[in-house]
Amino acid sequence: MSSSKRSTIIVEQLRKQQMLEALLRGKRLDGRNFDSYRDLEIEIGIIDKASGSARVKLGNTEVIAGIKVETGEPFEGLENKGALIMSAEVLPTASSHVEPGPPDEEAIELSRVVDRGVRESKMLDLDKLSLIPGKIVYTIFVDCSIINSDGNLLDATSFAVVAALLTCKLPIFVVQDDKVVNTGDFMPPPITTIPISVTAVKIGDSVLLDPTMEEEACMDARLTITTQSDGDFVALQKGYAGPFAISQILQSAEIARNKGEEIRSRMKGLNKTG
């Protein structure tokens, strides 16, 4: 059951006023344009015990994604495919508003939206990750820990997941005498496309990309749009209690596609520097 609740973050009236005045001048409180992203830092391979990992800093929002690879049973109905299991946890370190405990509805929504982007785009070709069909397949765990929260956890988490998957090294398992054996060698992951999520929020009549925590506390509604490499849409999620006009949605979709492409080229460059 989900119930409306009072926002835990109360933004000072002064700040809200400042924000709205700035928006009328086409600027945000941190000086950005409506469609600018904050500084995006991506560091890969920081957890060397994991098969792949990435640390993303989007402004002050910081997320770490780690990939662990095991073998196990396939999902029901997907006997010939590798299993992909994703989770995200907002750590209590992330802000004074986070209570330790099982994930709340926002954290679960976060996990599922990020998962959808990766899964629906078929970023990882799971057909290539089956070992003994119906019995044993690769099980890829992608787990995210959100360390510091300053808004737009959706995009930051999604970028961390994508960066980790792009740069991971999968152990090569082979089947010998009906048993699965780790050869000790590694292979790059079977990647088919690079999904990039772009989140926009509506404040008054303005649509802003990559909201800070403060902007999220003032927003009327939020829209996350995930596109894949060929420009197709693979996931959409609208959040919060206010409405979007149709024109705003279409406009945001276009911006998301273009912005997605910008960020995608950074992701493509990762393997070369990593």
If the CB atoms of residues 70 and 205 are measured against other proteins, the closer one turns out to be: 70
* Nearest distance, CB of residue 252 and other proteins, angstroms: 28
Structure-token match 């090569």, residue found: 172
Kindly tell me which of 169 and 257 has the beta carbon lying closer to other proteins. 169
> What span, in angstroms and rounded, lies between the C-alpha atoms of 66 and 206?
36
* Shortest distance in whole angstroms from residue 129 CB to other proteins: 16
Helices in 38-152 by DSSP H: which ranges?
105-120
Calpha distance 263→87 (Å, rounded) = 23
Burial 183-209 (b: 16+ CB within 10 A, else e): eeeeeebebebbbbbbbbbbbeebbbb
77 versus 101: smaller Cβ distance to other proteins: 101
Coil, strand or helix at 134 = coil
Kindly tell me which of 34 and 141 has the beta carbon lying closer to other proteins. Answer: 141
- Taking the least distance from each CB to other proteins, the nearer of 167 and 252 is 167
Closest separation in Å from C-beta 238 to other proteins: 26
Q: Exposed/middle/buried for 267, CB within 10 Å: 0-12, 13-18, 19+?
A: buried
Binding footprint of other proteins on the chain (CB under 8 A)? 10-18, 46-50, 53, 60, 62, 64-68, 70, 87, 89, 91-96, 99-100, 102, 141, 143, 145, 147-150
What is the smallest separation between the CB atom of 92 and other proteins, expressed in angstroms? 5
The nearest distance, CB 148 to other proteins, in angstroms, is 5
